[in-house]
Structure 1
């Protein structure tokens, strides 16, 4: 059974959590590839300050690749790579988190 399609703007304002249940941030904007007609990233603001301590400033957000999204519902769940980023591991995927202003 397929769910009814939602407007992409309905993602804005939803909270994002890692698959381990850690709050990551709130979706502020959506990054799109217009040629492919696909979502490529989620711009997050209202970040978990503990998770990103020393990595991004208070007025800066991050963009996480949309392929990290595991589920979309009342909240958005993403892979736990955020915790690896927080731990300072040199994981290639963790380095894909881009700062946004």
Structure 2
């Protein structure tokens, strides 16, 4: 839906840039995942990913699926919840885990 409450075509999401709520570029929408029974969007498939953000996690030709519940706002760009913070926390946890010998 748009800001005035009018419905929006799902295909209008494709091609939009996605940013974290802190302004970090995440990627670009390539596709959407739908629940046809409920007729709702359940996820957005991102490509053209921020290489720095996803380094070591996703290959150059791969993408990621972001749950639609993480989407905060849809306008000229799409804002998602703390994705950057989640990735950084995961990275910090993996680097601070003691190694077993």
TM-score bracket relative to the smaller structure: 0.7 to 0.9
Which residue of 1 is the match for residue 47 of structure 2? 45
State the alpha-carbon separation in 1 of the partners of residues 46 and 28 from structure 2: 5
Is 2:29 aligned against 1:20? no
Runs (4+) of structure 1 exceeding 3 A deviation are none
**Which segment is superposed worse, 79-88 or 46-55?**
79-88
Note the residue ranges of structure 1 that are not aligned, 5 or more in a row. 92-101
- Contact 1:51–1:83 (8 Å) recurs in 2: no
**Total equivalences in the alignment:** 91
1:1-101 superposed matches below 5 A: 2-88=4-90
Q: Rg: which structure is higher?
A: 2
Distance 1:28 1:90 in 2: 29
Q: State the alpha-carbon separation in 1 of the partners of residues 92 and 11 from structure 2.
A: 33
SS of 1:51's equivalent in the other structure is helix
TM-score, length of structure 2 as denominator length: 0.82
Unaligned runs of 5+ in 2: 94-101
- TM-score for both structures, normalised by structure 1: 0.82
